[in-house]
Amino acid sequence: MTAPPVADDLPTLHRLLAGGVPVARIVWQGRPAWAKRCAPPRRHERALLALAPLLRRWLAPGLPFRPVRRDSALPVEAQRLAELQRAGCGVPRLIAADRSLLVTEDCGRNLEHLLQDEPRPQLRLHWLSEAATDLGRFHAAGQWHGGAQVRNLLRRDDGSLARIDFETALDAHFPLPLLQAIDAALFFSSVARFGAGAPAAEVAPAYLAFAPEATRAVLRRGAPLLGALARSRLLQRFAPKEAARLRGVAAVVPLL
């Protein structure tokens, strides 16, 4: 196994990672850490932003909305991590950042990898229920993620969770309840990947015990479209994985 790059400052780290992968495990000033290159929004994110006015009118009519603007001197992800740290949320500590690179502490194993390696369905279900509870409490505290899939959760040795991947400034385009509804849809679609061992409908009550009513209202408003997409033969034929994930989200709708 190749040893991780070792750096004590950002210029050195830039040289070490030149032309490399976007995310890398490193040793920063003698301690394990992660380095991440900041990239522009991906294609599906750009499509979501283009639909923002329509989604606001359809799913969140009448909800107050004040776009959040941030300083362009640092990447959005670095700013959001710092904001969430100050709010006491479970995120990796931001160690260093510049316009194109950030460094965070190493604080646990990826939950998706843990689930894939765990053969016991009941333990997988327990971990996913913990993650659902964590998301509900995160939302109840007035926060949103933007990438709430299981793959963007780390599980520390003490069992607590840390959230990663905050690179899109969706709060410049959507009100909070709609942001949280997007989180919930992303989370339950990722839960559906784990099949009968951890169905989304079994995990949903742990989230809904804490989810704000305004967020549940947005999800209820979007339920007809979710159901139609989940039943779509066209989607099942040409994108069966996406169709299965949508069925996982749709299974949560009756519980709202």
Q: What would the mean pLDDT of 86-92 be, rounded to a whole number?
A: 96
Distance between CA atoms of residues 236 and 195, nearest Å: 16
Output the pLDDT for position 79.
94
For residue 148, the 8-state DSSP code is -
Q: Which residues of 46-77 are buried (b: 16+ CB within 10 A; e: fewer)?
A: eebbeeeeebbeebbeeeeeeeeeeeeebbbb
Kindly give, in sequence order, each residue whose CB lies less than 8 Å from that of residue 184, ignoring residues fewer than 6 positions away.
Answer: 135, 139, 148, 207, 211, 215, 219, 252
Q: What would the mean pLDDT of 79-90 be, rounded to a whole number?
A: 96
Output the pLDDT for position 77.
94
For the entire predicted model, the pTM comes to 0.91
- Answer whether residue 125 shows pLDDT above 60: yes
- Answer whether residue 238 shows pLDDT above 70: no
Q: Are 145 and 132 in contact (CB under 8 A)?
A: no
Distance between CA atoms of residues 43 and 63, nearest Å: 27
What pLDDT band is residue 150 in, cutting at 50, 70 and 90? very high
Amino acid (one-letter) located at 50: A
Residue, of 221 and 250, whose pLDDT is higher? 221
What secondary structure does DSSP assign to 3-56, as a single string? Answer: PPPEESSHHHHHHHTTT--SEEEEEETTEEEEEEE--PPPHHHHHHHHTHHHHH
Q: What would the mean pLDDT of 239-250 be, rounded to a whole number?
A: 70
- Give per-residue pLDDT as tens, 29-42: 999 999 999 877 77
Residue, of 156 and 232, whose pLDDT is higher? 156
Output the pLDDT for position 227.
74
- Answer whether residue 239 shows pLDDT above 90: no
What pLDDT band is residue 132 in, cutting at 50, 70 and 90? very high
What pLDDT band is residue 198 in, cutting at 50, 70 and 90? low
Output the pLDDT for position 74.
86
Q: Are 109 and 154 in contact (CB under 8 A)?
A: yes
Q: Which is it for the CA torsion 126, 128, 131, 132, positive or negative?
A: negative
